[in-house]
Structure 1
Amino acid sequence: MKFRLVLFLLVAAFAGCTNTKIEKKEIIRKVKVAAVETGEPILKSEFSGIIREDRENNLAFRVAGPVKAIYAKEGSFVKKGDLIAEIDPRDYQVQVDVARAQYEQVKSETGRVSEMYNRKSIAGIDYDKAVSGEKMVAAQLQHAENQLRDTKLFAPFSGYVQHINFEKGEMINAGMTFATLISLNTYKIEVDIPALLFVRRNDFTAFTCQNNESGDEELPLILTSFTMKADNNQLYKLYLNLDPQLNKKLAPGMNVKVVIYYKNQAEQSFSIPVEALFYKDGNTYVWIFNPESSVVNKRRVEPEALTGNGNIRITTGLTGNEKVVVAGVNVLKENQKVVLLETAGKTNIGGLL
């Protein structure tokens, strides 16, 4: 009897266990949120640029010979027309003397032939030969004189001597670069921009640049030109001018931060931290935090371009009064309950306490 009672109690207990549902504990994740910011009528994008000299020329002699003298030094300023260097002119002076003697002789002979032709003492063909001969030796004299003048190298414009590649007494051939001259009347700044911004070039309103030497001061730039064909990285190059007098500490070769300002084409746009975006099935989404229910909901958005302060511009999908999740976006689920992370205090650096 006791055995049957015990068996009955065991069966009842087992049946009760099988009908009991095991409830799973809901996971509540901690998230960090940020408010959606309203877009501005004038947008800006920042890029890295480099300062270039206004003009750079490689100076070369048009004749060959040993360097006789160098009148400029590397780093020195020269004015347009200043003598930079010269080649030993002795051989070229001899050529001029020979060519001049030949010219004087032929010229005298042509004068005698001309008198005979006027008296009809010689045929016209003989006269034509004499005149042609005079023109030929005149051209040879001109060529010799040009070569003599080319033994001197003058500055084609005012600027600074960047490099001198030869020393006094060294032999130099025609066309070899003797020195490099740069002009600093205007600084040129080159910057590469993506195609997404290049197609909006008609909306550009202003350009500025900053450098560690200029601090927070934004120096104005003037757009001069741009390339109409992208490079292999799908980037277009912009060329801008900077007045060197605005900051005399700047120099060619320095890196600068270039800021491009342009009109906002959207009727209304917003910006959010780029960390708020996540991607699924080829679309871009954000998690919208509902403060009343403390749950998150997925919403599709259309991003446009970075704003330069860690945010990205959103053209569609937001109304402006939302809060989006910016940390832990890849582990959340639709309608999941969350709790906000507390803001770190001054004595709780990093929110570790």
Structure 2
Amino acid sequence: MKHPAARLWLALLGTLALSACQDKPAPQQDIRPVRYVIAGGSAAPSGDSYAGEIRPRHETQLAFRVAGKVVAKLVNSGEHVKKGQPLARLDPGDYQLDLAAKQAQLAAAESDLAQQQLNLKRYRELLAKAFISQAQVDAQQNGVAAARAKVDQARAGLASSRNQTDYTTLAADADGVVSQMQAEPGMVVAAGQPVAKLSQDGAREVAIQVPENALEQVRRAGGFQISLWKGGAPLPGALRELAADADPATRTYPARIALSGDSHALQLGMTANVRIPGHAVGQALSLPLTAVLDLQGKHYVWLIDPRSLRVSRKPVSVGTVDNDSIAIADGVRPGDKVVTAGVHLLREQQRVKLLAQ
């Protein structure tokens, strides 16, 4: 029979061992907070729709034809101007001094011509009295011709100097809207440096970017339908220009769609959607670009299970790409919760915490 103290000691050891097992912390699950969107269905053209903006038919970069320091800014961006209206001025001091010098040179040349002509008259009178030879008269006639040439030279120099002085005022080439005005008082500009952009009044068109796989489709299209984000009836349009070289930044081809009918009331910069009519229109979902995960040439999104709050990777088929969104042609259903941030940091069946939208 064991001693009572020994039994008590064994019971105490068992209690301590059980407590140690119960106090061992359980491994924590890695729960990552994510942002998400709820996919919504909308009828949109797949592959036939292009985002664009309203632009004028003619846009002109304006610059001073002479160098100098800007002393006056006469209009601001967004103002409507008339042809010939001053937009900005340079300091004309140096050019006015040159103009005064050219005026003095012309006056001197004209005075010399008058003196040479008077001398020629006297020489002819002396020749008639046989006081001088014909050679002396001929030399004097040559002097008159040289003096007349100097007068013509001085007049041309004066006209050039007057033009240079006039060039210190930047004027609008046509009626339109000053879409950009970069000239500010105190700025020193070089000749030909653009300081303003003039969007001329007249026809409007839509500027779009065409991916390389749609060039032939756009080139062969007989017409386009332009829908404005502000609403209203669609406008017809036709392809006016398609660049032969891709933009080095976006690797897409700039194109211009000329609007038919009255487009003067459209504001510059309005958002437009250009669609090729007559093509099949399917159901497409629009998601932020950050929601799509690209792996080895394939596209995926992370779907969130609303009950378990676990994510699963789903392959998708993508359509057209806008500035900040992408059309999903297949793989996502309306109502699905899709992760929009941190898609490269998730793993299959990982628990997530939904952040406020």
- Evaluate the alpha carbon distance shift between residue 109 and residue 60 of structure 1 in structure 2; reply closer, same or farther with a 3 A threshold: same
The residue number in structure 1 matching 2:154 is 137
Percentage identity across aligned positions? 26
Residue in 2 aligned with 1:258? 274
Q: Offset of 1:130 from its aligned partner?
A: 2.3
* Alpha-carbon distance in structure 2 between the residues aligned to 1:135 and 1:54: 43
| Residue 45 in structure 1 maps to residue 48 in structure 2 | yes
Corresponding residue for residue 108 of structure 1: 111
Change (3 A) 1:56 1:133: same
Q: How many residues of Structure 1 are paired with residues of Structure 2 in the alignment?
A: 232
Q: Who is 2:242 aligned against?
A: 226
Aligned residue number for residue 83 of structure 2: 80
Distance 1:180 1:246, change over 3 A: closer
Contact kept in structure 1, 2:73 and 2:183, CA below 8 Å = no
Q: What stretches of structure 1 of length at least 5 have no aligned partner? A: 1-43, 265-269, 275-304, 313-326, 328-353
Going from structure 1 to structure 2, the CA distance change for 1:246 and 1:66 (only over 3 Å counts) comes to: closer
Matches within 5 A, 1:184-333: 184-193=201-210, 198-199=215-216, 204-214=221-231, 217-228=233-244, 236-242=253-259, 246=263, 248=265, 251-261=267-277
Distance in 1 (CA, whole Å) between partners of 2:106 and 2:219 is 64
* Alignment counterpart, residue 199 of structure 2, candidates 182, 191, 202: 182
1:187–1:244 CA contact under 8 A, matched in 2: no
Q: Which residue in 1 is equivalent to 2:64?
A: 61
Gaps of at least 5 residues in structure 2 are: 1-46, 125-133, 285-318, 321-326, 334-357
SS at 1:97's partner residue?
helix
Distance in 2 (alpha carbons) for counterparts of 1:272 and 1:169: 57
**Change in CA separation of 1:93 and 1:272 when aligned onto 2, cut-off 3 Å:** closer
Q: Is the 8 A contact 1:61 1:150 kept in 2?
A: yes
Q: 2: CA distance between counterparts of 1:87 and 1:229?
A: 38
Partner of 1:98: 101
Match in the other structure for 2:312: none
TM-score (norm 2): 0.52
Deviation of the 1:75 alpha carbon: 1.6
One-letter amino acid of the structure 2 residue matched with residue 160 of structure 1: V
Over the aligned positions, Cα root-mean-square deviation in angstroms equals: 4.0
Give the TM-score taking structure 1 as reference length: 0.53
Which residue does 1:337 correspond to in 2? none
Instruction: Provide the rounded CA distance (Å) in 1 between the counterparts of 2:182 and 2:245.
Output: 36
User: Is the partner of 1:175 in helix, strand or coil?
Assistant: coil
Please name the residue that 1:40 is paired with. Answer: none
1:78–1:155 CA contact under 8 A, matched in 2:
yes
| Paired residues of 2:204 and 2:263 also in contact (CA < 8 A) | no
CA positional deviation for 1:71: 2.2
From 163, 166, 178, the equivalent of 2:180 is 163
- In 1, Cα distance between the equivalents of 2:208 and 2:118? 72
In the alignment, what sits opposite 1:126? Answer: 143
Q: 2:277 is paired with a residue of what secondary structure?
A: strand
